[in-house]
A and B are shown apart, each in its own frame.
Chain A
């Protein structure tokens, strides 16, 4: 298993090629072949999980080969505690989402081919340790996403797809400039992330006497930081760059919503932790409070309030993502062990929980062909099993103790309380709002008198349960025994944290 990360990244590409060669009419064959090509990455992810050494904060399973020597560009992949959690999540969700896509019956071949390409792009982003490679994967993932939303999405799919595309491209354009700026200031010029991290202290910061904040530090480092940050913030999505998200979510087919919320949003926060923190620590120390802490708290409250106002079930879940990603930002900004561990754990947990939520919304949409919250009522009597799973997912999202969401939110709040008590109070009140909109939704959709129109809705089927059960199990497992994930993260995150702390 010397090249395990390369296999995980490129097996889906091989799958794409195979799918493209299959006859277009044999839908089931295409589905099963696609599923087959997501199994090896999942198995390898399990192998990684077992063989990963949590005590080692550095990069493991590293592969390095020159790619374009003239510009010092390498094929360089590896995982540390931060990326391994995302790699596990990606492998799992991609496998499950193939089954959640089973109902796609138009352009089946194209859908699954693009899906596999998307899988490869996402995996590549999380394992790349060369900034150039990282950027290529980051962009590669855009193209399939555009088509997946744009061809197989809902009624306003074209608008949603192009909006998503334009927003992300703007972000990645700024990111490219920042990457080039880092390349030209490093000596020798390199895209190697580990070298850029090692040279983090070479960038000076000038002090600008800016009224009314005298002693504002602002320099090269800060400009680059902001360029990277905007690129990542669009993906998170942080207010005010979040407006593409509800559109994209509502229009995307179920499986793509799961991928979008479960994995793509994490790339934003992952990118900040992977690049901004260790490569530009002084700027991180200066800007984290406003750009991550305060903005994160605002995201929590704003997202929750927006979610509360939604009439569409999927839009509600989308805005709840905006809110929950706020915890990640806030946790990162605290520079405490609890906060930053909580943030990354929240990334993982949000991936599983929101995955469940979108799958559940998809289940009901497949049956009723609409998602209006007010249009349902009393579904618990019609679909008891479905309601049970939904309750689990909603309670986990709400942060009920014993389920995974609770652990990460508490860790974030613990960290925030030590550093910024005011933000902690604001964020904690977000928990109440979250409980408010989720319980209210449960009441409107699942409880109360049964809507006669939907008395005959069929119960959740075996395939749908198959996609939900693993996620549910993880939610419970991490809820009662969070060390499963936390142990993986701790050493690497401590190391990243230690780079920034001296600059505070």
Chain B
């Protein structure tokens, strides 16, 4: 299926609905005095887009808009992930004191624009759309990061993000121009064909090009050495947006990376196996990046005193785990990544939700302010955070364990040098337990001071928190449907 612009619109409802919601918010913001409804409009827009996206599961796969974007199950999976993350973020924002102080209209407009960009990231099939979608997400993110008025940390984070992002995207588009020079096209399928058929390919040039492009994608997924921005940005940005950034932005980055590296820079050989093209052994680069990323992320997380910052470093470590699945270059690994993304979405959103709730109640994100939380009237958030943290560590019976289980299983099945990768992953899990358990320790094992305030838990937060915690436990024991969904989503439209 290769459709022109008008035909494509029939398969473009999620994007259209989201765009409509953005425009509607702008208009309502201009005319209405009461801004409380803006969040509901945004939420409705997400719900509509979600329904439209699910509806597209019945549609045929193929190219839209003259091969600029692609419609397949893989892109739909990431659309669903972005929408779930966006809805949860909006829900979280509705109860957040931080967000109450910012201009509501702009906030939700940018948030939905960011989500829209992620849609394109997941479905780009042309280097041009890939670049544009990445920039759309980035630009909205820069603004949202610096959205807290009169907060120096927020402004500083936005500036850092902007500068890092600008450099990364510059490097990336330079790499893309090399690819264009080598392959003579920006279209993914055409690049793949050119690379596969050309015999006198300049390997060095190709290598340079792909390392440059990796820099651009790697900066979105936060893997070492492109991670420097993330701790500052995570800490400085408003907490609901940090949650969004940590899951949705990461997922979209993984999506664009997979689509570029798998269907473009390698070719499917047998069922579930891929071979890289013309001597550019990028899996080895990813193998190395994966080990360094998870180790560095975990080691840096050990000493953090700010919970958001710690979660940023742990997010780096999780990006490293996900890279494990990419490095082994087979469908088993990709399936494990998709499952992991879904699980990571649930547990990380939950963790940030608790951070946001506690920031509302105590005005602090320092780990020290969580002292004796369980004994200060917040036993439910404390217990839920414990579930999320242990799940992030990868302990059964929580969903995070199953996610890691699939990743390790895929890596171990590949055998050979990859066993070392699995061992490094296991050692890293042990390290990560130390800092995750530190928070649990602070909440449960330490006695509160008499000076520590009692905490009133907001119902808005609990209404999302408890389902997330329950899901984390349920998916740890009964995960077949999600695993099947993730497996079924690994369906690229490759031609």
CB pair A151 B445 closer than 8 Å: yes
- The interface stretch among A160-168, A388-396, A412-420 is A160-168
CB pair A157 B408 closer than 8 Å: no
> Looking at chain A's contact residues, is the secondary structure mostly helix, strand, loop, or mixed?
helix
Known: A173-B427, A177-B412, A177-B426. A142 touches B395 (CB 8 A): yes
CB pair A166 B445 closer than 8 Å: no
In A142-189, the 8 Å CB interface with B consists of 142-143, 146-147, 150-151, 157-158, 161-162, 165-166, 169-170, 173-174, 176-177, 180-181, 183-184
Residues of A within 8 A of B288 (CB): none
Q: Name the one of B395, B426, B440, B445 contacting A174, with C-beta atoms under 8 angstroms.
A: B426
Q: Within the complex, what minimum Cβ distance (angstroms) separates B421 from chain A? A: 11
Residues of B within 8 A of A183 (CB): 409
Residues of B within 8 A of A184 (CB): 409, 412-413
Q: Within the complex, what minimum Cβ distance (angstroms) separates A83 from chain B? A: 21
Q: Name the one of B422, B441, B445, B480 contacting A68, with C-beta atoms under 8 angstroms.
A: B480
Q: State how many residues of chain B have any CB contact under 8 Å with chain A.
A: 32
Residue pairs across A and B with CB atoms within 8 Å: the count is: 75
Q: Name the one of B419, B423, B437 contacting A162, with C-beta atoms under 8 angstroms.
A: B437
Which residue, of A147, A166, A173, has the highest number of chain B Cβ atoms within 10 A?
Answer: A173
Question: Using an 8 Å CB-CB cutoff, how does the interface string of A64-90 with B read, 1 for contact, 0 for none?
Answer: 000011100000000000000000000
When chains A and B are docked, how far (Å) is the Cα of A147 from the Cα of B387? 13
When chains A and B are docked, how far (Å) is the Cα of A76 from the Cα of B427? 30
> Looking at chain B's contact residues, is the secondary structure mostly helix, strand, loop, or mixed?
helix
Residues of B within 8 A of A150 (CB): 441, 444-445
Residues of B within 8 A of A63 (CB): none
Known: A140-B397, A180-B409. A173 touches B437 (CB 8 A): no
Q: Within the complex, what minimum Cβ distance (angstroms) separates B492 from chain A? A: 21
Which residue, of B409, B423, B446, has the highest number of chain A Cβ atoms within 10 A?
Answer: B409
Q: Within the complex, what minimum Cβ distance (angstroms) separates A174 from chain B? A: 7
When chains A and B are docked, how far (Å) is the Cα of A366 from the Cα of B440? 29
B12 at the interface (CB under 8 A from A): no
CB pair A157 B445 closer than 8 Å: yes
Q: Name the one of A136, A139, A143, A166 contacting B434, with C-beta atoms under 8 angstroms.
A: A166
Residues of A within 8 A of B427 (CB): 170, 173
Q: Name the one of A70, A136, A166, A176 contacting B426, with C-beta atoms under 8 angstroms.
A: A176
CB pair B396 A140 closer than 8 Å: yes
B178 at the interface (CB under 8 A from A): no
When chains A and B are docked, how far (Å) is the Cα of A162 from the Cα of B432? 12
Residues of A within 8 A of B405 (CB): 176, 180
Q: Name the one of A140, A143, A162, A173 contacting B441, with C-beta atoms under 8 angstroms.
A: A162
CB pair A169 B480 closer than 8 Å: no
Q: Within the complex, what minimum Cβ distance (angstroms) separates B248 from chain A? A: 28
A61 at the interface (CB under 8 A from B): no
Residues of B within 8 A of A52 (CB): none
Residues of B within 8 A of A135 (CB): 396
Q: Which residue of A lies closest to B442 (CB)?
A: A158
Known: A139-B401, A161-B445. A180 touches B433 (CB 8 A): no
Q: Within the complex, what minimum Cβ distance (angstroms) separates A159 from chain B? A: 10
When chains A and B are docked, how far (Å) is the Cα of A410 from the Cα of B427? 40
CB pair A158 B441 closer than 8 Å: yes
Q: Which residue of B lies closest to A171 (CB)?
A: B430
When chains A and B are docked, how far (Å) is the Cα of A158 from the Cα of B371? 14
* 23 A–B contacts, CB within 8 A, in A order: A68-B480, A70-B484, A139-B395, A139-B397, A140-B397, A143-B395, A147-B445, A151-B444, A158-B445, A161-B441, A161-B445, A162-B437, A162-B438, A166-B430, A166-B434, A170-B430, A173-B427, A173-B429, A176-B405, A176-B426, A177-B422, A177-B423, A180-B409
If A161-B445, A177-B422 are given as contacts, then 7 extra A-B residue pairs at C-beta distance below 8 Å, sorted by A number, are: A139-B396, A143-B395, A146-B437, A173-B427, A173-B429, A176-B405, A180-B413
The 7 closest A-B CB pairs, nearest first, are A173-B426, A139-B396, A136-B396, A150-B445, A180-B412, A170-B430, A184-B413
